[in-house]
Structure 1
């Protein structure tokens, strides 16, 4: 646990604690009051303060989080109004554990296991170790930015304390340049590529063939889409922002959106529109701009004013195809081909709902999906979507462009049908 930076102040009626805990969800904050002890927990931060006098939670108490600054301000009511709280500026004294009271020895052998656990917890008093947080020093390195229009930073500062299995950059996510992120992503894909897994799915493709015949319900809609109450509530909670974009930025956003929709289409096809607990992992793992903070850039020869080209669309999807062959349970070229279908705003809302309810991967909703939903609804062009949809459908991704010997592996399976049926079970199967 990390002891966050904090400061305390007081008025005649209240004590105010200002805690710096950037990039957290306000709904995850846990606050407890026990007499003169205040404790706060929101992963990965823990803070326990022992005041000289008692505080209480009442109607005048509050907790407000400002995501733009990363500060959580907690206001607590003094049990005795007008009482002076001493030493609020002595951080080490506030962090010191509460003195333990020597309890008489109890013969624990006669207690049940449940009662012994309760006794040990009470005696321990959950006095987790704390240290005075260091003063913030000016960084000698330039913090990079990422996400929608490169507007975000700091979300992966404490990534070592979260179970983010899709983050391929580790703690270096805050310092790697875009070109370094791309190199790291390609290297990780090559390491995860498993020839036997691909051959096995090619040899025994009965279920994959069934998945490719499935049709997403949205593709059969001929009437006007009516949003549900839940979707309307989500739209009302989206940020109110105005975006001033260049032609290149707009062009890149459409390309990024296409790769995100590919990941959505893969997950929805493999679970047939019934999201599972693994859906958040699947969507984030297959999206380069999430897992490696590596959105597709405008190619060097493209001119955004002239629109998109088939070659550019094909190049954009190469990364999505590679990831669909390296990470998820089903790894098939024909399955990847089926995932290039156009659905937009409602799909973004569904992805946002899936990620918002995940304890770790909600971060990708914050740095990408929130703004993408606003931009798609307010600024994106229906005409561009229509043209882009046609290009996505007509684009050709060759197996040679993936970088792995897919044709050769498939030929081996055709010549030796049982070659790929047996393989070792790996962690992805589990």
Structure 2
């Protein structure tokens, strides 16, 4: 089961526990309090806290769930009023409450039933059950450092998950195969032809200029107060990555910026409630846990160096690996033509150009884009987990480890890329030719019934 984010506070008479458990039903929350031990369950979340002194449930106690924010607030009465509960912020490890994470091991049974059985078993055993952590699950996320975030994905509403209940158990090659099949199944030639034929809205999107790419009024990007606050909330972390790992991060960065560029163009940089879905659906590392490299060619051997006292970074000659960069962006192009509202090759090309220009603006502009991505996903009750396994680390890494020179050079190469329509595996050229022939054969009459169909 998933341990939710939570915080504790107190006053003279009560302890308040705030638990973040989005997209659940308040009526399904089960709470048990036994003196110092608090246990809470609502699928797929389980939280068990052991407080330093006793609490009681009385008329002043309450449990309130706010579906808008996703927070469950528990107010529990102190058995001894004005007694101080030390270290509720968990600053002292010796006083830290005990939290046990329960996980279902039998994937052959219904996930919801398995979670309920676990909860009943815990109750029957005095709310104690041995913690088991599997070390055999294939990892994913930033530097393949994460597992367990999708153990109960079948019981949550995750519309962009393309791996189903097998998200935690599939190998990388299996994830990639499922991604490719899903993209092919979602490819709609008629939708593509319609957008190619009626391109007035597409032309408007193509003419739009991202504010981060407008001529700068100064030589340096000045972060806003909100951006500075977001960076301060990211705890410092050291990354020890191999040259091949670092190379993969630069490639993954291209796909993140492409998804960001597409959403920014189609919303004119004013994110909508659909933006989190759009970004997650267009990013293979999110929807299929399938980051680059996608190329079979060997990755370059690189030299490492220290930058401003930070952990080692890498400098690459991406100019000799333009083919690999094109292969990295092909899945982004495929997804941009298979999933969102606007499906246009010209729009995908404009997004690639935006990516190149973001990179050529350097570290600060790239970091600003990633912070905006993170804010969009953090505001979603399900997709926030992709911030945890990718964007939090990427924001730290860009600040501390990424090479400014490498970002600029990468942008220059991306700006010169030539991606073939045939490389997507769909007959784009033939479809566009059919539209052109249909347009040329249209009569001058405004009668829609006299116009030939595209297919």
TM-score normalized with structure 2 length = 0.68
Output the CA distance in 1 between the equivalents of 2:59 and 2:252: 46
Residue 55 in structure 1 maps to residue 32 in structure 2: no
Residue 225 in structure 1 maps to residue 247 in structure 2: no
**How far 1:40 sits from its partner (Å)?**
3.9
Q: Which residue is equivalent to 1:235?
A: 231
Secondary structure at the aligned position of 1:339 is classed as helix
Q: Which residue is equivalent to 2:367?
A: 345
Is 2:260–2:279's contact at 8 Å kept on the other side of the alignment?
Answer: yes
Residue 363 in structure 1 maps to residue 359 in structure 2: no
Residue 288 in structure 1 maps to residue 284 in structure 2: yes
**How far 1:42 sits from its partner (Å)?**
5.6
Is 1:146–1:293's contact at 8 Å kept on the other side of the alignment?
Answer: yes
Kindly provide the CA deviation profile for residues 131-163 of structure 1, in whole angstroms up to 9, marking residues without a partner as x: 514756868882111000001110001111211
1:245 to 237, 241, 251: 241
Residue 132 in structure 1 maps to residue 144 in structure 2: no
1:160 to 147, 150, 154: 154
1:187 to 158, 181, 184: 181
Kindly provide the CA deviation profile for residues 207-265 of structure 1, in whole angstroms up to 9, marking residues without a partner as x: 10111111111111422211111111100001210001111111110000011000000
Q: Which residue is equivalent to 1:307?
A: 317
Count of aligned residue pairs for this structure pair: 348
Is 1:231–1:349's contact at 8 Å kept on the other side of the alignment?
Answer: yes
Q: How does 1:320-335 map to 2 (within 5 A)?
A: 320-335=332-347
**How far 1:377 sits from its partner (Å)?**
0.9
Is 1:3–1:130's contact at 8 Å kept on the other side of the alignment?
Answer: no
Output the CA distance in 2 between the equivalents of 1:386 and 1:421: 46
Is 1:314–1:395's contact at 8 Å kept on the other side of the alignment?
Answer: yes
Output the CA distance in 2 between the equivalents of 1:57 and 1:353: 39
Secondary structure at the aligned position of 1:326 is classed as coil
Output the CA distance in 1 between the equivalents of 2:59 and 2:251: 50
Output the CA distance in 2 between the equivalents of 1:152 and 1:130: 23
Q: Which has the larger radius of gyration?
A: 1
Give the gaps of 5 or more residues in structure 1: 6-13, 19-23, 59-73, 82-127, 424-430
Is 1:56–1:78's contact at 8 Å kept on the other side of the alignment?
Answer: no
**How far 1:56 sits from its partner (Å)?**
6.0
Output the CA distance in 1 between the equivalents of 2:438 and 2:181: 30
Secondary structure at the aligned position of 1:376 is classed as helix
Give the gaps of 5 or more residues in structure 2: 5-12, 61-73, 82-115, 123-128, 303-315, 359-365, 443-450
Output the CA distance in 2 between the equivalents of 1:141 and 1:391: 40
Is 2:2–2:149's contact at 8 Å kept on the other side of the alignment?
Answer: no
Secondary structure at the aligned position of 1:157 is classed as coil
Output the CA distance in 1 between the equivalents of 2:453 and 2:221: 44
Distance 1:231 1:332, change over 3 A: same
Kindly provide the CA deviation profile for residues 2-58 of structure 1, in whole angstroms up to 9, marking residues without a partner as x: 8999xxxxxxxx999x9xxxxx94799989989989784665337899xx9943699
1:262 to 246, 258, 269: 258
Residue 390 in structure 1 maps to residue 408 in structure 2: no
TM-score normalized with structure 1 length = 0.71
**How far 1:310 sits from its partner (Å)?**
1.2
